[in-house]
Structure 1
Amino acid sequence: MALGTWLLVIGLCDLLRAARDTTTGVRRGLIAALAVVLLVLAGVLVGIDGSEWIGLGAAWIVGALLWLLGSSAALTDRQDAQVAVVARVVAFLGLAVGIVVSVLGGGVIESYGAPASILEGTLLGQIGLDHLVLVLGVVAIQLSTANIAIRLVLDSVGVPASAGEKQLKGGRMLGPMERLLILGLGIAGSLTAATIVVAAKGLLRFPELQRGSAEGGASDVTEYFLIGSFASWLIALGGVGLVGLSTASGGGWAMYFD
């Protein structure tokens, strides 16, 4: 529940800058403030008390702020290499803090009382609110947060995303669609079918990869494709793994795909 909640808030906030690398200070502040409000509201709904806010609640907020502000700074301040490096470290540190603390401290959260009672007797109620929140959080991450994380990875290894995006204009849309397809197939228990997506993408890009090799080495587009694609697939598979672990530990909706 804790991890799903945090991921959902991060994903929703990142959707507000889905098509923007460069963001103004005002926009960053508004998005960060929204994240804090949503996390506090979520904490109230699940009944986090004062002592728990010192641990889990504070880590939620700190992790969210580090990711949102750090990633925004890393993408906006590309002209200053040192600032960009520090900002990327801060951003990924924020992700790590939010995920690790949510996993380790999630035991203090039991359920969203009122929403859970409303869902009783419905299909969503049978699935379980814990699983539903986690899946919504994982889906939200695939839509925009993953794109931002991949661009940070590309920048960190010296392959600017902007160079590849000029030739792969639909990347910001195709990436989430690809990840959602892999995630959906994985949740449905057909992860093997997801390999078709990977194979198809490789075949479509093979002529460019082969041309780059023939010209004496990997081009920027080749590196962009390889690093970006593997990072994208790992994020999608990570989401499948999180949902799978939750389903295995709590029953979840595995019954619907038997």
Structure 2
Amino acid sequence: MIGTGIVLLAVGAVDLLRQYMPRRGRPAAFALGAVLLLILSAGADAVVWTFVALGTATLWVWGTPDRRGGRAGLWPVVLIAAVSAIAVSIVGVRPQQGPLGELWPVASPLGLVSLDVAVFTVGAVAFLTESGNVVVRAALRDGSVPDDAPAALKGGRLIGPLERILVFALTLTGAFTLLAAVLAAKGIVRFPEISRDTEAGTRAEYFLIGSLVSWVTALGAAFLLWWGTGA
């Protein structure tokens, strides 16, 4: 579980830095992030997963250039899914280990939350925030939607991360009725734009593909947490 969290955290942090930091400052930021990740994993007896995470993040950056879809199709997305699934299957939720595990509180307002679950949740949120946008762009670029289609629905860059985090949270809490209402509300809000679509159906196709890929990404993160905790 903690291995998946570290991998998702590394990839998510890399994409956030690529999005919001100037190019000349990125190498130093990447190096600092790697050191901090190594310290975190050392305190949780999971150093090996830092090296896995750094290797995965390097391949992710190489395969997903800034603001575009994957350079080689959807293989970076498959890579993240495979590494995450393997990490969960190898190491579930461990007993508290390492210095951080000993200092981690045994209870919280949400009940018993282990260090492994906390790291996974932080990593999942980091990944869903910006890397989720990268996943959606890769899917749209790999499909039949024209390259200029994203300009039709400009709010997706902000709505997408909020939507994914909300889907992730509502799924984990079992609020499926509220989840269905949120997804339906998005379709209702977007309906006027979609209804003005051209005969080619570009906006409708872009909306459907983007929304479905975004929801599947969030549901996949929730599934990994359920799998890892044995829920």
- TM-score, length basis structure 2: 0.81
**Structure with the higher helix share, 1 or 2:** 1
Deviations 1:77-108 (A, max 9, x none): x8xxxxx642x455335424532442243369
Q: CA deviation at 1:208?
A: 3.2
Q: CA deviation at 1:5?
A: 1.9
1:234 matched to 2:216: yes
CA distance, structure 1, for counterparts of residue 35 and residue 148 of structure 2: 33
Aligned length: 229
Q: CA deviation at 1:27?
A: 5.9
- In structure 2, stretches of 5+ residues that fail to align are none
CA distance, structure 1, for counterparts of residue 13 and residue 98 of structure 2: 22
Q: CA deviation at 1:7?
A: 1.1
Partner of 1:244: 226
Partner of 1:44: 42
1:7 matched to 2:8: yes
Partner of 1:209: 194
Residue 92 to residue 181, structure 1, CA distance change in 2 (3 Å): closer
Aligned runs of 1:1-258 on 2, under 5 Å? 1-18=2-19, 24=23, 29-30=27-28, 32-34=30-32, 36-48=34-46, 53=48, 58-72=51-65, 75=68, 85-86=71-72, 88-89=73-74, 91-106=76-91, 111-123=96-108, 126-159=112-145, 163-164=149-150, 166-212=151-197, 215-218=198-201, 220-249=202-231
2:119 partner amino acid: V
CA distance, structure 2, for counterparts of residue 222 and residue 9 of structure 1: 33
Contact 1:39 1:60 (8 Å CA) reproduced: no
Q: CA deviation at 1:34?
A: 4.8
Identity value in percent: 32
Residue 48 to residue 115, structure 1, CA distance change in 2 (3 Å): closer
CA distance, structure 2, for counterparts of residue 71 and residue 31 of structure 1: 19
SS state of the match for residue 64, structure 2?
Answer: helix
CA distance, structure 2, for counterparts of residue 167 and residue 73 of structure 1: 20
Deviations 1:141-173 (A, max 9, x none): 111110111111111114356532x33332211
1:67 partner amino acid: W
Q: Could you list the structure 1 runs, at least 4 aligned residues long, displaced by more than 4 angstroms after superposition.
A: 26-32, 107-112
CA distance, structure 2, for counterparts of residue 67 and residue 90 of structure 1: 9
1:45 partner amino acid: G
RCO higher in structure (CA 8 A, sep ≥6):
2
2:211 partner amino acid: S
Residue 98 to residue 205, structure 1, CA distance change in 2 (3 Å): same
CA distance, structure 1, for counterparts of residue 11 and residue 143 of structure 2: 24
Q: CA deviation at 1:74?
A: 7.9
1:59 partner amino acid: V
- In structure 1, stretches of 5+ residues that fail to align are 79-83, 250-258
Q: CA deviation at 1:35?
A: 5.4
Contact 1:62 1:94 (8 Å CA) reproduced: no
Partner of 1:81: none
- TM-score, length basis structure 1: 0.73
Larger Rg: 1
